[in-house]
């Protein structure tokens, strides 16, 4: 089992450019989460999916951030345009309903210059 | 005030020392995670517990639901244990449980 797979591992972009992150959850996990983690802080939830439905996106800055999980399996998180303050680690996690077998990916470290 | 509080924020120990990291939370929970994060970002789940105590190798996690408190212990600490340890609790939000993270404890174990 590969675990939760995220790519890319690192990304450096100039401000105002778009960027996308990809996540493939553990097979069978219905629930998928995207988090943002700023330096020295705990992860903050951006969006949670139950299958292909976004059930909690209250913390997602919708003016520039978007996410999709079209077939209820892998997911993409996009930022367009990126700002300097978006520099952070973006983590994906997945679980069975109720948080069972909660597993994190390795994260994507984004640097906006 | 954070709903999930960890202490200490930073901890430096000598190899071989017994280490304790504490976590307290403010409302009812369904379960609590202890997570380990190494430089570079990846997070590994060490324990998920809702009562009692769990042990895995040199790591022990305990939780007291009545006192709303959990501890992570590392016996015979080693430099490779150096990481950020994060407590995350599924806090009751009125209609469901939501995973809420503490700010983490940076552990440095010196040889």
CA distance B67 to chain A (A): 23
Burial (0-12, 13-18, 19+ Cβ within 10 Å), A67:
buried
Report residue B1's pLDDT band, with 50, 70 and 90 as the boundaries. Answer: low
One-letter-per-residue 3-state SS of chain A: CCCCEEECCEEEECCCCCEEEEEECCCCCCEEEEEEECCCCCCEEEEEEECCEEEECCCCCCCCEEEECCCCCCEEEEECCCCHHHCEEEEEEEEEHHHEEEEECCCEEEEEC
Chain A contact probe: residue of B7, B43, B84 with most A CBs at under 10 A? B43
Q: Is the pLDDT of residue A64 over 80?
A: yes
Over residues B58-84, the pLDDT tens digits come to 999 999 999 999 999 999 999 999 999
Closest-approach residue (CA) in chain B for A105: B42
Which tens digits make up the pLDDT trace of A38-55?
887 888 999 999 999 998
At residue A102, the pLDDT reads 84
Average pLDDT over residues B37-41: 77
**pLDDT band with cut points at 50, 70 and 90 for residue A98:** confident
pLDDT at A35 over 80: yes
Beta strand ranges found along B1-111 (DSSP E): 4-7, 10-14, 19-25, 29-37, 43-49, 52-56, 59-64, 69-74, 83-92, 97-101, 105-110
Cα of B82 vs its chain's centroid, Å? 14
- What's the mean pLDDT when you consider all of chain B? 91
**How many percent of chain A have pLDDT more than 90?**
75
- The four Cα atoms B16, B85, A25, A74 give a dihedral, to 10 degrees, of -140
Residue A1 confidence (pLDDT) above 70: no
Residue B37, min C-alpha distance to chain A (Å): 9
Cβ pair A91, A43 in contact under 8 A:
yes
Confidence of residue B41 (pLDDT cuts 50, 70, 90): low
CB atoms within 10 A of CB A16: 10
Query: How large is the average pLDDT for residues B103-107?
Result: 94
HSE (side-chain half, CA atoms, 13 Å) at B89: 28
């Amino acid at each position: 089992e590969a675990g939760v797979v995220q790519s890319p591992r690192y990304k450096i972009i100039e401000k105002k450019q778009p960027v996308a992150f990809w996540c493939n959850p553990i097979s069978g996990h219905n629930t998928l989460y995207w988090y943002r983690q700023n330096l020295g802080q705990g992860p903050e939830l951006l969006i949670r999916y139950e299958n292909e439905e976004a059930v909690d996106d209250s913390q997602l800055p919708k003016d520039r951030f978007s996410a999709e999980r079209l077939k209820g399996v892998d997911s993409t998180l996009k930022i367009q345009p990126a700002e300097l303050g978006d520099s952070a680690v973006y983590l994906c996690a997945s679980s069975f309903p109720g948080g069972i077998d909660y597993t994190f990916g390795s994260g994507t470290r984004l640097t906006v210059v | 005030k954070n709903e999930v509080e960890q202490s200490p924020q930073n901890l430096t120990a000598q190899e071989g020392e017994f280490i304790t990291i504490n976590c307290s939370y403010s409302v009812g929970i369904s379960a609590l995670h202890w997570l380990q994060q190494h430089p570079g970002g990846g997070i590994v789940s060490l324990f998920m517990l809702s009562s009692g105590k769990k042990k895995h190798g040199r790591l022990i996690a305990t939780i007291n639901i009545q006192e709303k408190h959990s501890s992570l212990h590392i016996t015979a600490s080693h430099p490779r244990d150096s990481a950020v340890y994060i407590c995350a609790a599924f806090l009751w939000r009125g209609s469901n449980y939501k995973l809420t993270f503490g700010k983490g404890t940076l552990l440095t174990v010196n040889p």
